[in-house]
Structure 1
Amino acid sequence: MADQKRIEDLSYKEASQELERIIRSLESGDMELEDSLESYSRGVELLKSLRGRLADAEQKVSVLLADVDGADELVCADPGKDDDSPNF
Structure 2
Amino acid sequence: MAETKPIEEMSYKEASQELERIIRSLESGDLELEESLEGYTRGVELLKSLRSRLAAAEQKVSVLMKDVDGTETLVAAAPADDSDALRL
TM > 0.5 fold call: yes
TM-score class, shorter-chain normalisation, is 0.7 to 0.9
Equivalents in 2 of 1:61, 1:20: separation in Å? Answer: 26
Q: Which residue of 2 aligns with 1:23?
A: 23
Deviates more, 1:64-73 or 1:48-57: 64-73
Does the aligned pair in 1 maintain the 2:58–2:77 contact within 8 Å? no
TM-score, length-normalised on structure 1?
0.77
Deviates more, 1:2-11 or 1:47-56: 2-11
Equivalents in 2 of 1:66, 1:40: separation in Å? Answer: 41
Does the aligned pair in 2 maintain the 1:65–1:74 contact within 8 Å? no
Q: Which has the larger radius of gyration?
A: 1
Q: Percent identity?
A: 71
Equivalents in 2 of 1:26, 1:49: separation in Å? Answer: 19
Structure 1 residues 47 and 75 mapped into 2: Cα distance closer, same or farther (>3 Å)? closer
Kindly state the Cα deviation for residue 3 of structure 1 after the two structures are TM-superposed.
1.8
Q: Which residue of 2 aligns with 1:40?
A: 40
Question: 1:33-81: per-residue Cα shift (whole Å, max 9, x none)?
Answer: 00000000000000000000000000000011133443323689xxxxx
TM-score, length-normalised on structure 2?
0.77
Aligned-pair Cα RMSD in Å = 2.0
Count of aligned residue pairs for this structure pair: 76
1:72 counterpart letter in structure 2: L
Which blocks of at least 5 consecutive residues in structure 1 are unaligned? 77-88
The runs of 4+ residues in structure 1 deviating greater than 6 Å are: none
Equivalents in 2 of 1:53, 1:42: separation in Å? Answer: 16
